[in-house]
Amino acid sequence: MKFIKILRFGFLFLLVVSFLLQPSIVLSLSDIPNDNLSYPVLIKTKEGKTGSGFFYKREGMLYLITARHVLFDDMLVIRLKEKFDIPTDLKYKFYMQESESKDEKGKFIRTDFIFTFSGVISESEKDKLINAAPDSDKEGIKKLYDRSQELQPISSEITLLSYGDKVTGVTELNINLKELFKNGHVKYHPSQDVAFLRIGSINKVNNEDRVKILDGIIKERKNLITGLDQKNIKFLKDVIIGNQVFVFGYPTSITQINPSLDINMPLLRKGVVAGKNEVLKAIILDCPAFYGNSGGLVIEVEQDLCCSFQYKAIGLISQFAPYDNQWFQNSGYSIVVPMDFVEELIINETK
């Protein structure tokens, strides 16, 4: 009996030691807090386009945070007559491709140059492009600049779906996007792929958050809204390369063609922080993103010295990183807009 007791003690001792020496076991038992799974929001336009986002609680207000290109028509395209060299420091955001025009019989007519840009062109960027462009295309660059200064909502109406948990249930909001934009409740960042939609004010009722929604928003299903709290974010300077991350979102390009998946339910992906671009203020993930993931929340997992874990929001998915200069070639890496610019946008627009 004494021998058996010694064996049992030895086994328990080894189990405890192995548990302490392998903190990854802790993570595998509870990879992510349950309330984090309530953050993703599916965004649908009445035309059928989709994107991802998340609810964000900040100083008594509730916002929908997403990528700018999910809510705004920010893809600008013009045809230029001649090809020119885009200034080196602008090549990451402006694209030029050749396109041949042909008549009805397929006979070659001319070669056009398709110039594409997403977002808002700054005054300095416009000047650089005009200086580089031939005289025949300077007017086209000026028109592109003017169009970029007043981006318009991508649709007049959108629907938001958040599936929460067993307690909060499903939340469905129908949004008059153009009305809210007109009234100043929808804003986009001028240089970063991020936008917000103000949902309403938050009040405490029986120790629960209750949202008084704005005019222009119809709540189809009356359930609680779970949102990311401002205290649970971290900025670019504190993001740690190599740490594990979770990406939340609705990759509809995958779910809509696979009968095993529910297009209306969020999917998670796991990866790591692969790098940071300090110049462009971007985070790179070793984690693929697909159409529908844009605007999705990214959570970083950070372990402290006591083997406990912190779960902090570090940003939102903007795009996947292509290779071979071909948009459709997915490298398996993705680009994240840091939470710094979410905060910057809200602060600047609510002063």
- The pLDDT value given to residue 351: 61
Q: What is the mean pLDDT of the chain?
A: 83
Question: Is residue 6 pLDDT above 50, yes or no?
Answer: no
Percent of the chain at pLDDT above 70? 83
Question: Is residue 184 pLDDT above 90, yes or no?
Answer: yes
pLDDT grade for 146, boundaries at 50, 70 and 90: very high
- The pLDDT value given to residue 23: 46
Q: What's this model's pTM, rounded to 2 decimal places?
A: 0.83
pLDDT tens digits for 229-249? 999 999 999 999 999 999 999
pLDDT tens digits for 188-215? 999 999 999 999 998 877 777 788 889 9
pLDDT tens digits for 114-136? 888 888 999 999 999 999 999 98
Question: Is residue 12 pLDDT above 60, yes or no?
Answer: no
**Alpha-carbon distances, residue 122 vs 90, 142, 338 (angstroms):** 11, 11, 21
**Alpha-carbon distances, residue 134 vs 138, 141, 159, 233, 242 (angstroms):** 6, 10, 45, 46, 45
pLDDT tens digits for 42-83? 999 999 999 999 999 999 999 999 999 999 999 888 888 888
**What is the identity of the amino acid at 76?**
L
SS3 labels along the chain: CHHHHHHHHHHHHHHHHHHHHCCHHHHHHCCCCHHHHHCEEEEEECCCCEEEEEEEEECCEEEEEECHHHHECCEEEEEECCCCCCCHHHCCCEEEEEEEEECCCCCEEEEEEEEEEECCCCHHHHHHHHHHCCHHHHHHHHHHHHHHCCCCECCCEEEEEECCCCCCCCEEEEEEHHHHHHCCCEEECCCCCCEEEEEEEEEEECCEEEEEECCCEEEEECCCCCCEEHHHECCHHHCCCCCEEEEEECCHHHHCCCCCCCCCCCEEEEEEEEEEECCCCEEEECCCCCCCCCCCEEEEEEECCCCCEEEEEEEEEEEEEEECCEEEEEEEEEEEEEHHHHHHHHHHHCC
Give the C-alpha separation, 201 to 38, whole Å. Answer: 19
pLDDT grade for 349, boundaries at 50, 70 and 90: confident
Domains of the chain: 30-72+153-349 (2.40.10.10), 75-148 (no CATH)
Structural contact between residues 310 and 258, judged by C-beta atoms closer than 8 angstroms: no
For 176, phi then psi, to 5°, come to: -85, 90
**How many of the other CB atoms lie within 10 Å of CB of 343?**
15
- The pLDDT value given to residue 19: 40
**What is the identity of the amino acid at 158?**
I
